[in-house]
Chain A
């Protein structure tokens, strides 16, 4: 007879094995995104379709660069974690590992590219 409680036997047995820290991080980034996304939609929506000179002029504004930078930085981190959870829900084993590595690489590559582009446009 083992004297393990039901809780102890269940702990870590969910599809992702852990998750409180992840959930809290998603809540924090969700609140951050809720604040910056409306301004981002306005900025990007206005800039999309304008001439290259107009885009350069738009991205001279610190407000524009910081809002776009925040949205993409927080958003891609939020996307990486969200996509990871989806992968953990529907796949197992090597497929799960491969997909998580792919999503992680893709979102970090996009973040670095976005920051490079913003730096070049702003400076």
Chain B
């Protein structure tokens, strides 16, 4: 080990050679949803800015966000928020040193997947 030569370290994670498992897929989905939510945030901030500028601009932004395409994007955003929310709580639980055995980790993975869909449906019904 201590031969002093620099080591070529690989970049992580090695998606191309990694066998998909529920635990890895749910972890990767956390990253995908988190970063995709930046696009949702752009739309939300744009809508807020338009509301602050005035009624004419607001009507444009509001029409875009409530069009059929806007509805799809916003509904997917809610799903993304809830998935990232539950998966984030799961990561906090993992980081505290709990739930790291495979059966528990897989159960928590399913809880994130199913829970996010349930919470999305509830959110869309309420708002």
Contacts and interface: CB of A to CB of B under 8 A. Distances in A.
Interface of A: 1-4, 6, 9, 13-15, 23, 27, 30-31, 33-34, 37, 41-42, 44-46, 48-49, 52, 55-56, 59, 68, 72, 75-76, 79, 82-83, 86, 89-90, 92, 106-107, 110, 113-114, 116-118, 120-121
A97 B25 CA distance: 28
Given A34-B88, A120-B52, A48 B47 contact: yes
A52 B59 contact: yes
Q: How large is the interface on B (under 10, 10 to 19, 20 to 34, 35 or more residues)?
A: 35 or more
A72 B41 contact: yes
Interface of B: 1-2, 4, 7, 9, 11-13, 31, 34-35, 37-38, 41-42, 44-45, 47-49, 51-52, 54-55, 58-59, 62, 65-66, 74, 78, 81, 85, 88-89, 91-92, 95, 123, 126-127
A6 B3 CA distance: 11
Given A45-B123, A48-B47, A79-B41, A117 B35 contact: no
